Amino acid sequence: MANADGRLRLGAFLSGSGAHTGAWRHPQADADASLNVQRYQHYAQTLERGCFDALFLNDNVSVGELAAEALARGPYSLRWDPLILLPALAMVTRHIGLIATANTSYNQPYNLARSFASLDQLSNGRAGWNLVTALVGGENFNHEQPLAHAERYQRAEEFLQVVTGLWDSWADDAFPLDKSSGAWLDVERMHVLNHRGPHFQVQGPLNAPRPVQGWPVIAQAGSSEAGRELAARGAELVFTAQQTLGEAQAFYADLQQRLAAYGRAENSLKIFPGVSPIVGRSASEAQEKHQQLLELVDPRAALKQLSFLLDLGIDLSTLALDAPVPLPAEVPSTERHKSRQQLVVELIRREQPNVGQLLRTLGAGGHRVLVGTPTQIVDELACWYHEGAADGFNILFTHLPGGVDDFIGLVVPELQRQGLFRQQYEGRTLRENLGLARVANRHFPA
């Protein structure tokens, strides 16, 4: 158990109208969630009432699969820019953390360092950066072909080095703002980065105040070998996907043992597997809710999008739903989502599903779907937490706001009753609520 207080943490994954493939058509879903900021402000306020540690916005810089049937029947073509949306959420909340995905492949370190420092100031210390390498989008940034996986991660490591260096541009007391003496800045408390590397040349300093938290919380979501090394080097919160307790325990142990190589203490990294709960007051009600969602899925559009994500060279949308899922004799290497491809390949080998069963299992994009009563769902979360598989969970709500309302109204009270989750926020910043220390400036010790 990694958390000193013995309580698990909760993040909320918010995307469009919900995480399930059929979400946008649900009677309790806001079909216009990707267009209406008031919807997201309401979700954020509800999650804050439920004492969630943070909400998390994923992002892509491309529509992805351009097949007409996938675009026409699936909600894949619109997405909020997290760094535009989160300031609007900061203005209507006080406690919940605000984590934005921003990729290192098609951005520049100075811009992102400035944006996240500003968001941390704006939110009084609640910002987090989900550091990812872009899976898709090169065609929109002067690259006809996707960047190679290895190149993406080499760039990401240097990108992280530059961004954190820029956040340390100023000592915490660098700006006296003394009107009587005329001293605006103590230049002896300024550090000029002067970075020169294979990907970036950045002088600095950053023309934004040092973040309230020292650095915003650094999250990461890649589970490939390169992704794990990047997480061990610099991440403090890892979002991941596993389907079984054994897989989750192995991932957790692997990441924790990598920390020592980078001089980091064990458990300085929080690991949040994704789960998508479907909760009912009875088991039969939960199953009915799940079935309702499944009936809203357009199979061909969903399978077209899934085929694009997995990049196995197989168009699943051309197969009958009762056909076995084929695997090529040799799984092709992908430059997109290596860890998710591996997870699904292992699932297919282990369970040998037909196409319809695979679609049902992957209704939340590869994350584990939990269907049951509040007690059953809490028992599953508690098992993974106590058995060394998770420090908390990233909750993927099937549909918004209905899935949020169900979880806050039914599951959170049961977690609190069992002493597994807070009843009020412990601190002022995201770091304090996650049990992470404020980052000291490496150049100006307190």
| Token pair belonging to 155 | 């760039």
Lowest mean pLDDT among 44-53, 84-93, 222-231, 398-407: 222-231
Lowest mean pLDDT among 221-225, 226-230, 428-432: 221-225
| Token pair belonging to 2 | 């990694």
- Contact between residue 429 and residue 46 where contact means Cβ atoms under 8 Å apart: no
State the Cα–Cα distance between residues 118 and 277, nearest whole angstrom. 34
- pLDDT, one tens digit per residue, over 156-198 is 999 999 999 999 999 999 999 999 999 999 999 999 999 999 9
Q: How confident is the model at residue 434 (pLDDT cuts 50, 70, 90)?
A: very high
Whole-number average pLDDT of the chain:
91
Q: Which amino acid is at 398?
A: T
Give the Cα-Cα-Cα angle 253, 256, 257 (nearest 5 degrees). 85
State the Cα–Cα distance between residues 53 and 40, nearest whole angstrom. 16
Residue 202 has pLDDT above 80, yes or no: yes
Phi and psi at residue 107, to the nearest 5°: -130, 175
- pLDDT, one tens digit per residue, over 236-290 is 999 999 989 999 999 999 999 999 999 999 879 999 999 999 999 999 999 999 9
In this predicted structure, what is the pLDDT of residue 111? 98
Phi and psi at residue 48, to the nearest 5°: -65, -40
Residue 427 has pLDDT above 70, yes or no: yes
Q: Where are the alpha helices (DSSP H) in 221-282?
A: 225-234, 245-258
Residue 392 forms beta bridges with which residues? 9
Residue 109 has pLDDT above 50, yes or no: yes
- What SS3 state is found at 319? coil
- Contact between residue 259 and residue 229 where contact means Cβ atoms under 8 Å apart: no
Kindly give the interhelix angle for 245-258 and 225-234, rounded to the nearest 10 degrees: 50
In this predicted structure, what is the pLDDT of residue 304? 81
- Contact between residue 433 and residue 98 where contact means Cβ atoms under 8 Å apart: no
Give the Cα-Cα-Cα angle 400, 406, 407 (nearest 5 degrees). 95
- What SS3 state is found at 225? helix
In this predicted structure, what is the pLDDT of residue 1? 47
In this predicted structure, what is the pLDDT of residue 37? 96
Transcribe 326-362 into DSSP letters: P--SSPPP-SS-HHHHHHHHHHHHHH--BHHHHHHHT
Question: Do the bridges between strand 195-196 and strand 201-202 make them parallel or antiparallel, or are there none, so unpaired?
Answer: antiparallel
State the Cα–Cα distance between residues 55 and 14, nearest whole angstrom. 7
Lowest mean pLDDT among 7-11, 140-144, 225-229, 402-406: 140-144
Enumerate domains of the chain plus CATH numbers.
Answer: 9-283+368-434 (3.20.20.30), 298-362 (no CATH)
Question: Do the bridges between strand 54-57 and strand 217-220 make them parallel or antiparallel, or are there none, so unpaired?
Answer: unpaired
